[in-house]
Amino acid sequence: MPVKLAAPDPASLLPIRGVRLGIASAGIKKPGRRDITLIELAPGARVAGVFTQNRFCAAPVVLCKQHLTHGNIRALVINTGNANAGTGDDGLQRARQTCAAVAQLMGCATEAVLPFSTGVILEPLPIDKILPALPAAQADLAPDHWSEAAHAIMTTDIVAKGASRRAQVGGKTVTVTGIAKGSGMIHPNMATMLGYVATDAAVAPDLMPQLVKDVADVSFNCVTVDGDTSTNDSFILIATGQAANAEISDATGADYAALKAALSEVAIELAQAMARDGEGATKFITVAVEGGRDRAECKQIAYAIARSPLVKTAFFASDPNLGRILAAIGYAGVTDLDVNTLQVYLGDVLVAEKGGRAASYTEAQGAAVMREADITVRVALNRGNVNATVWTCDFSYDYVKINAEYRT
């Protein structure tokens, strides 16, 4: 079961002026499953995205990158049950057909539609099921369908993921709402899932690529479940400009900082929800590395710990076999790391210092922390003033079962 995670109250997901969402059933993988989501954007909305760096990236990722260069994005279409990845030119053609069908319904150019897919890799996209479902998704469009969309984009997720915030930007109240899916094949080489965050704030178009990257780097690029980077990872940021704030055009100004903070809060909540809903997860684990020379080495060490199968299985067993954490720190690849100067904490318990077991540490202390559902591992490098935090979960028997039976 997910770790201290419940689906958001639909009423808590605030509508965004200039965004409507519609859901329909195409029965791609299961009959009756609501697996098509259509998102309509008002004219003038600004859109930017970051995508997987997996070289086997899916056809919709290729098209999204192309279509974003044209600007004036008016619609997003998302299907679950099929990734349209590893499908070659045929996959691109089918994704284009989907975009063209949406464009005809919405009265916009094909290049104004962004496609997204998630599900099984190496199978043809079933457009014979998708295209007939699009009119129903259009008919369902409404500004308050964020919760329905959060459920419709799920794959192996147990809990739908969504969050909202309000913030003051330039003397105006702006709203931020986001949804995401992801619980397996989660590891950063961009954003590790499908995520959509929208705001009614006005943002200059040339600032959007920096803003989406800034938000991704503190949220979706800080979570791992299993160390596998998906072929379909996409994080899309939408700014409709309908909050009547003065357009944000300076990345060094107070308005940019305020909006980025609100967007980041939503994205961090969604990213942490993916780790809490990690396939088979029973523990939510925060790995904080502090006192590094730069953020890169802090994240390098944090991810070595967070993606280690030996560390993750020890957490599942509540076994304080903490030498596994030391081993992960040691092989992380920070070649000039002095292990004699660092300290390792499990919760508030000092586990290791001066290159070995802390004199004050007892196995009973470690076991007590390991039994908790939320656990923090803290590594103090004591060689600088830079910190980084990543989130992960344990590996349980159910992780193997879920992935062994994924296609059945």
How many Cα atoms are found within 13 Å in the side-chain-facing hemisphere of 40?
A: 23
Q: Tell me the three state secondary structure of residue 272.
A: helix
- How far is residue 386's CA from residue 293's CA, in Å, rounded to a whole number? 6
* Six-digit token string for 340: 């004699």
The whole-number pLDDT of residue 187 equals: 52
Choice between 11 and 37, residue whose per-residue pLDDT is larger = 37
Nearest C-alpha neighbor of 259 from the set 194, 215, 300: 215
The whole-number pLDDT of residue 403 equals: 62
pLDDT per residue as tens digits for the range 66-96: 999 998 999 999 999 999 999 999 999 999 9
Nearest C-alpha neighbor of 395 from the set 285, 273, 309, 319: 309
Q: Are strands 356-357 and 349-353 parallel, antiparallel or unpaired?
A: antiparallel
- Superfamily per CATH, domain 10-276: L-amino peptidase D-ALA esterase/amidase (3.60.70.12)
pLDDT per residue as tens digits for the range 363-385: 999 999 999 999 999 999 999 99
How many Cα atoms are found within 13 Å in the side-chain-facing hemisphere of 15?
A: 13
Rounded to a whole number of angstroms, the distance between the first and last alpha carbons of the chain is 20
Domain ranges, ordered by start, for the chain: 10-276, 284-404
Is the domain spanning 284-404 CATH 3.10.20.340? The answer is yes
Across-strand partners of 163? 178
Our CA angle for 245, 165, 3, nearest 5°, is 160
* pLDDT reading at 191 higher than 50: no
- How far is residue 306's CA from residue 45's CA, in Å, rounded to a whole number? 37
pLDDT per residue as tens digits for the range 200-255: 999 999 999 999 999 999 999 888 765 556 677 889 999 999 999 999 999 999 99
Choice between 408 and 57, residue whose per-residue pLDDT is larger = 57
Residues with catalytic function: 192
* Six-digit token string for 79: 């299907």
The whole-number pLDDT of residue 348 equals: 96
The whole-number pLDDT of residue 165 equals: 98
Is residue 296 within 8 A of residue 346, CB to CB? The reply is no
pLDDT per residue as tens digits for the range 265-288: 999 999 999 888 877 788 999 999
